[in-house]
Structure 1
Amino acid sequence: MCRIYGYLNAFAAPNALRAVAAIQRHGGPDGTGTARDQGWALGNNRLAVVDLDGGRQPYRLGEGITAVFNGEIYNADELRGQLRAKGYTFEDRCDGGVIPALYDAYGDDFLSRLDGMYSLALVDRRNGRPRLLLATDHLGMKPLYYRWDPGSRSLHFSSEIPALLAFSTSNPSLWEPGLDAYLSSRTPFGEQTMFAGVRVLPPATSLVCELGGVPELVRRSGAAEDGVGIPYFGDHDEAAAGADVRARLRQEVGRLMVADVPVAVITSGGLDSSLITALAAQHAAEAGRPRVHSFNIAYRGAWSFDERHFAREAATRAGTVHHQVEIDPADFPSLIEDTVWHLGQPNADPIALSTGALFAAVRKAGFKVALTGDAADEVFGGYDRMLAAVAAGTDHPDGDDWFQPYLDSLAVLPARLRHRLYTEEYRTLVADYPALPEGPLETLRHGSGSRLRRITDFELGQRFPAYHLRRVDHLSMAHSVEVRLPFGQRSVLAVGRALPDALRIRDGRVKRALYSAAAGLLPQSVLDRPKQPFTLPIVEMLAPGLPLWDFARDVLHRDRLAAGGQLDPREVRGLFTTQAQRPDATTALTLWALLIHEVWREQFGAVRTEALAVAA
C-alpha cells in the first residue's frame, strides 16, 4: 500500500516533488522513491505490507517502462509464475513488482488480469515519446486525483487532493456548483471534485496520454459488469445462496489476511462486520495463527446508536482479542479539522470523525492492515432506502414515484429545502447545473433491469466510491493503515449482483441471502437486532452547552458565511434556533454538513471564481 504522484508534460523542481511526497507521507511512511526525466515524473510513498525488505518503487523494466503503484494485487504470485514462464525475472516478491512485466507482455490489457485494489501510474518510453497510463480498480477502492491544463497540455496526479494541490503555488478555485452537489448527495458524485479543475479517475477506468497529447479516458469492465459463471438461484433458494455467499466470503477473507504484518478486523456490531470477524477468526484458528484482534469505537458518555455491546458479543463469539476505543466529544473540534484536511473535500457523513480516530487506535496497537464489512449493503440490498424504493409503486412497476424519495434519502436535505439556504446569487448560479451526474441518473430512472438492480448499479458505480471508499481510504491511510474489503472482491460482488431481487429484499426484510450466510456464525442478538447505521449521534451532540454546538456556532458565524457568498446567514441562524428548540435529524445533519463545508473552504483557502464574484 502506498501513495503515488507525478506529472506529464510539466516541470517541477526536486524540492516540489519532495513537498508533494511529504504531504502524503502518512500513507507511506516506510520509504519514498521517484523517477523523472524531461517532461515527466513518477513518485511514491510506501507502506510496507508484503515483502517488507523489497518492494522499492518506482518499478522498472529496462529503460523503457517505469511504474508506481498503490494497493494490493491478490493474485500476484499466480501472475509472477506465469510471467516467469515467459522469461521475466523478479528481484523480490512484492505484489506491485509484476506490473512492468505484465504491461510489457499484454499491453494495456494487463489491467484485466489484476485481481485486487489499486491505482497505478506507468510511463512507457519505448517509442521515444513518453506515454502515461493511469488506472483504477473495479470499484475505485484506491482513489486517484488529477488536474489537466489544456493550455499547457500538462497533467498532474496524486493519491490525495492536498498533495495534488501542492504542485501549484496559487490557491485553488471553488467548483461553484459544489455546495449544491455536496448537499444533494453528501459528497460530490462522479468525476468532479469540489475544486475547479480537479477530477477523480472513475472506477475501472484508464487515462492514457502521450507527451504533448490530450488525455483519453477508457472505461473497462467494472463491478456492474461482473457475474460470469455464477450459479443460478431461484427466489426461494435462500439456504443455497447463503451457503454459496459464505463459501466465497470465507475464501476471500483467507486471501485478504495474507500479509507480512499483523491483520486486524473492524467490528461495528452489525451483521456485515461481525460476519467478517467470525470468518477471520476461523481462518486464523485453522491456519494455526495467533488470535485475531478486533476493534470497535464508541463515544464517551451516554449516547444513542451505541453498538459496543453488540460488537463485544460478536467478538466474544468469534474468540477475538477485542479492543474498545473511545473518543471524547470534547475533542471533536480538533478531530474535525484533521478529518476534513485528510479527506481533501467535504463529506457529510458524521461517521468520518470516528473513522479517523478508530484507525489511529488500530495503528497505535501495532496493526498496518484491517478488514472491514464495507460494500455488503450496496451488494446485498441492505439500505432502508432500497427497501422503500422496492416497495413504492408496486401497482405501477414502470412508474417513477420511488425516484425522488430515493434521491432525497441520499441528500443532506431535499432540494426545496436546501435552496432556501442559498443567497439569491447562488440560487441563480446553480439553477443551470445538475446536482448529480445526469447520465447515471437517467440510467437509474429508466435503464434496463429491475428497480433494485438499477439502484445497486447506481450505488456501486456512483455513491460507494465517492461517499464510502474515499472516506475509508483517506482516513485509514492518514494513520498508515491499509483497509481490505472482502465484500468488495469480484467473486462476492458477482454472486451478490446475480441474486434475484427476492434473495436480497423480500417481505420487508433486507439482505436475505447474507443473513442466511451468517446463520450459526453470529450471536442471535446480532442476527435479530434491527438495522441501525453506525453514526455520530449529532442530534444529541448538537445541543446548546456542548462542545460541538459552540464550535458550529463559531464556524458558521454570519461574517464567515457572508464572505463565502453562497449561504444566507439568516437562514443558517434559523437552523440553530430550530435545533435548539425542536431538535431533529434533518436539521442536525444540515448544520453538520454546513460546518464541514465551511471548515473545508477555510482550510484550503479556496477562492471564489469570477462567475460567482460577478453574480454577487
Structure 2
Amino acid sequence: MCRIYGTFNVHSDEAELRRVADLMHHGGPDAQGVTHRADWALGNNRLSIMDPEGGAQPYHLGRITVVFNGEIYNHRELRERLTGLGFHFDDQCDGSILPALYLTYGDRFAEQLDGMYSVAVMDLRSTPRMVLATDDSGMKPLYYHWERAAGRFRFASELPALLGFTGVRAEEDETGLDAYLTSKTPFGDRTMFRGVRVLPPAATAVVSHRDGLRIRHRPMAHEQGLRPDEGRSLEQAGEQLRALLSDEVARLLVADAPVAAVTSGGLDSSLVTALAARALRAGGGHGSLHTFNIAYTGTWPSDERAYAAEVARASGTRHHQVEIDPATFPDLMGDVVRHLGQPNADPITLSTFSLFRAVRDAGFKVALTGDAADELFGGYARMTQAVAAHHGSDWAEDYLDHLAAVPRALRESLYTDEYAFAVRAAGPALPADIRQILRSSPGTRLQRIAAVEQRYRLPAYHLRRVDHLSMASSIEVRLPFCQPSVVRFAATLTDSHRLVPGLGVKRALYQAAGGLIPRSVLDRPKQPFTLPVTAMLAPGQPLWALARDVLSPNTLRADGRIRPERVAALFEEQAVRPGDSVSLALWSLMSHQLWRQEFFATAATTAPAALRTADRVLLEAA
C-alpha cells in the first residue's frame, strides 16, 4: 500500500516533488522513492505490507518505470506465469511483477490483476507515453490535472498532494456545492476543484505527446454479461456465497504486517469478522484476531457496542472498544476535511477517522472491513422503496432524492437567486447517464439501481472516504466485498435473493451468515453505521456551537449561494423538532464551509466567480 504521484510533459524540480510527497507522508511513511527526468516524474510513498525488505519503488525494467498503490492478491500466480515467460524477480513483493506484466500485456495489463490498485507506467521504448489504471471498484483513487492545450499532465493519490504541484491551482468549482448537496459528494470523474478530475473505476488512461489524454473504460466486474441464476435456491445461493467469502477473507489475511478487523455490530462487518477469525484458527495462526468498534462518550441513539462485543465473543477475538468524546469533534473536523480533500456529507467521517487512528495506535497496519455489501446485495431502504414503488410513479427521481445530502425541494429553497441561475446554466449536477441507466437500461429495476450504486455512488461517496481516512493513519483497508469474484457473484443473484419488500434485504448474505454470527445480530433491525448527528446537533452540544459559528449569516452572505435566513430557520427547527433531514442539511452545509476555509484563504469574504458573473447577467437582463 502506498501513495503515488507523477507528471508527464512537465519539468518539476526536486523541491516541488518533495513537497508533493510530503503532503502524502501519512499514507506512506515507511519509504519514499522518485524517478524524474527533464519532462516526467514518478514518485511513491510506501506503507510496507508485503515483503518489507523488497519492493522498493519506483520499479524499473529496461525502459519501463512503474509506481503502484494498493495490493495485488493474485501476484503469486502472475509471478509464476511471467517467470515461465523468462522474467526474473528479485523479491516476493506483489507490485514487483508490474513492469513485466505491462511488457507482456501492454495497455491491457490491468485486466490480469485481482486486487485494489492504482498504477502508473512510464514507457520510454519509443514515443514516450504514460499509462495509468484503476481497479474495477475504484478502491484506490487517482486524481489528475490535464492541461489540454499545453499537453501537461499531473496526478496524485490525494487531492491536497495534487494541489501541491506548482501548476495546479486550488480553484473552486462554483457549482460543485450543488453537486455535493445533490449526491453527498460529486459523482463520476468530477471533483470540487476546477480542472481537477478523478479517474473512474476500471479505467485505463494513456497520455502521450501525439494523442494527448485518452481514457478507456474497461467493463466493471458486474458489467461482464453475467445473468441471474434463476434455478438456484436461496439456500444454495447462501452456501455458495459463504464459501466464496471464506476464500476471499482468507486470502486478504495474508500480509507481512499485523491484520485486524473492524466490527460495527451489523451483519456485514460481523460476517467478515467471523470468517476471518475462523480462517486464522484453521490456518494454525498464533493468537486471536483483534477487532475494533467505535462508540461515543455518553448515551446516544443507535449505540452498537453491545452487538459488536457479542460478535467478538462468539468469534473468539480480542476486542478493542474505542470511545471518543463528542467534545473533540470540532477539532477533528479540520483534520477530516483536510484528508478527504473535498466535502463528504456523511457524518461517519468523524467516526471513521477516529477509529483508524485507534487501530494504528494499537499497532496494526491492515484492517478488514465490511464495506460495499449494501451496494452489492441490496441493503438500502431506498432500494426497497424504489422496487416497491408503483409503476406509474416517478420512482427514479425519488430514488435519486434519497441519495442527496439535502432533498431537492429543500435544496432549491436554500439557494439565492444568483446561485439558482448559475446552477440552471451549468446543467444537471449528476452524470448525464444516471437517469438513462435507471429509466431505460436493460434489466430489472433493482439491477439498474445496483448498476448506478456500483459505478457512481460506491466509489465516489464510500470507497474514497474509506481510503483517505484510513490512510490518514497509515492503515491499509482491505475490502472482501469488493473482490471481483464477490462482485461477479452478486451479479448472478436474482432480485428475490437480494431483497423482497416486506421480507427483507440482503437475503443471500443473511443466509450465508446463518450459524456464524449471533442470532441477536441477524434478527435486529438494520441501522446505518454512522454518527448520531441528529442527537448531537442540538443546543448545548459542541457540534451545535461549531455549526452556528461556521454558518454565520455574515459568512453565508459573503459566499453568496445560500440564503442566511433559510439556514437560520433550519437551526430553529432543529432546536425545537430535531430531525434527520434538517440535521443532515446543517451538517452538510457546515462541512462545505469548513472545506472552503481549509482550501481557500478568501472563502469567508469572497463570492465565487460564477455568482459574480450571474449577478452581472441578472443586472443586464433587468
The CA deviation at 1:419 is 1.2
Residue number in structure 1 paired with 2:90: 91
Residue number in structure 2 paired with 1:542: 537
Per-residue CA deviation, residues 236-266 of structure 1 (Å, 9 max, x unaligned), is x111000000000000001000000111000
Structure 2 CA distance, aligned partners of 1:66 and 1:244? 41
Per-residue CA deviation, residues 499-522 of structure 1 (Å, 9 max, x unaligned), is 110111125210111111000001
Indicate conservation of the 8 Å contact 1:153/1:213, yes or no.
Answer: no
Structure 1 CA distance, aligned partners of 2:578 and 2:166? 43
Q: Which amino acid aligns with 2:96?
A: G
The CA deviation at 1:423 is 1.4
Per-residue CA deviation, residues 1-44 of structure 1 (Å, 9 max, x unaligned), is 00000111111111000000000010000000001112110001
Indicate conservation of the 8 Å contact 2:68/2:117, yes or no.
Answer: yes
Residue number in structure 2 paired with 1:364: 361
Indicate conservation of the 8 Å contact 2:438/2:452, yes or no.
Answer: yes
Structure 2 residue 566 is matched with structure 1 residue 571: yes
Deviates more, 1:502-511 or 1:485-494: 502-511
Residue number in structure 2 paired with 1:187: 185
Indicate conservation of the 8 Å contact 2:140/2:467, yes or no.
Answer: yes
Deviates more, 1:601-610 or 1:455-464: 601-610
Deviates more, 1:98-107 or 1:562-571: 562-571
Structure 1 CA distance, aligned partners of 2:19 and 2:581? 41
The CA deviation at 1:176 is 1.5
Per-residue CA deviation, residues 113-138 of structure 1 (Å, 9 max, x unaligned), is 011000010000000x3100111000
Residue number in structure 2 paired with 1:355: 352
Which of 160, 163, 169 aligns to 2:161? It is 163
Q: Which amino acid aligns with 2:325?
A: D
Q: Which amino acid aligns with 1:215?
A: L
Residue number in structure 2 paired with 1:533: 528
In structure 1, list runs of 5 or more residues that go unmatched.
none
Q: Which amino acid aligns with 1:429?
A: A
The CA deviation at 1:613 is 2.2
Q: Which amino acid aligns with 1:523?
A: P
Indicate conservation of the 8 Å contact 1:223/1:460, yes or no.
Answer: no
Structure 2 CA distance, aligned partners of 1:537 and 1:103? 47
Which of 215, 239, 247 aligns to 2:235? It is 239
Structure 2 residue 446 is matched with structure 1 residue 477: no
Structure 2 CA distance, aligned partners of 1:227 and 1:266? 33
In structure 2, list runs of 5 or more residues that go unmatched.
616-622
Structure 1 CA distance, aligned partners of 2:376 and 2:476? 22
Per-residue CA deviation, residues 197-233 of structure 1 (Å, 9 max, x unaligned), is 11000000011011364100101121322465x8935
Per-residue CA deviation, residues 491-539 of structure 1 (Å, 9 max, x unaligned), is 1111111111011112521011111100000101000000010111111
Indicate conservation of the 8 Å contact 2:50/2:255, yes or no.
Answer: yes
SS at match of 2:379: coil
Residue number in structure 1 paired with 2:380: 383
The CA deviation at 1:403 is 1.2
Structure 2 residue 405 is matched with structure 1 residue 412: yes
Indicate conservation of the 8 Å contact 1:153/1:212, yes or no.
Answer: no
Would you say how many aligned residue pairs link Structure 1 and Structure 2? 608
Structure 2 residue 16 is matched with structure 1 residue 16: yes
Q: Which amino acid aligns with 1:383?
A: Y
The CA deviation at 1:400 is 5.0
The CA deviation at 1:294 is 0.4
Q: Which amino acid aligns with 2:107?
A: D
The CA deviation at 1:188 is 0.7
Residue number in structure 2 paired with 1:214: 212
Deviates more, 1:588-597 or 1:146-155: 146-155
SS at match of 1:562: helix
Structure 2 CA distance, aligned partners of 1:313 and 1:38? 59
Residue number in structure 2 paired with 1:30: 30
The CA deviation at 1:171 is 4.7
The CA deviation at 1:564 is 1.5
Which of 307, 328, 336 aligns to 2:325? It is 328
The CA deviation at 1:550 is 0.5
Structure 2 CA distance, aligned partners of 1:371 and 1:266? 6
Map 1:126-165 to 2 at 5 A: 126-127=125-126, 129-165=127-163
The CA deviation at 1:177 is 1.3
Indicate conservation of the 8 Å contact 1:266/1:273, yes or no.
Answer: yes
SS at match of 1:215: strand
Q: Which amino acid aligns with 2:53?
A: D
Structure 2 CA distance, aligned partners of 1:94 and 1:87? 18
Residue number in structure 2 paired with 1:258: 254
- TM-score using structure 1 length: 0.97
Per-residue CA deviation, residues 154-211 of structure 1 (Å, 9 max, x unaligned), is 0110000000001037751111211111111111111110011110000000110113
Structure 2 CA distance, aligned partners of 1:546 and 1:107? 57
Residue number in structure 1 paired with 2:341: 344
Indicate conservation of the 8 Å contact 2:68/2:95, yes or no.
Answer: yes
Structure 1 CA distance, aligned partners of 2:228 and 2:72? 26
Per-residue CA deviation, residues 520-561 of structure 1 (Å, 9 max, x unaligned), is 001010000000101111111111111111111111111111
Indicate conservation of the 8 Å contact 1:444/1:458, yes or no.
Answer: yes
SS at match of 1:192: coil
Per-residue CA deviation, residues 459-517 of structure 1 (Å, 9 max, x unaligned), is 00000000100000000000000001111111111111111101111252101111110
SS at match of 1:302: coil
Q: Which amino acid aligns with 2:201?
A: P
Structure 2 CA distance, aligned partners of 1:215 and 1:284? 45
Structure 2 CA distance, aligned partners of 1:614 and 1:286? 66
- TM-score using structure 2 length: 0.96
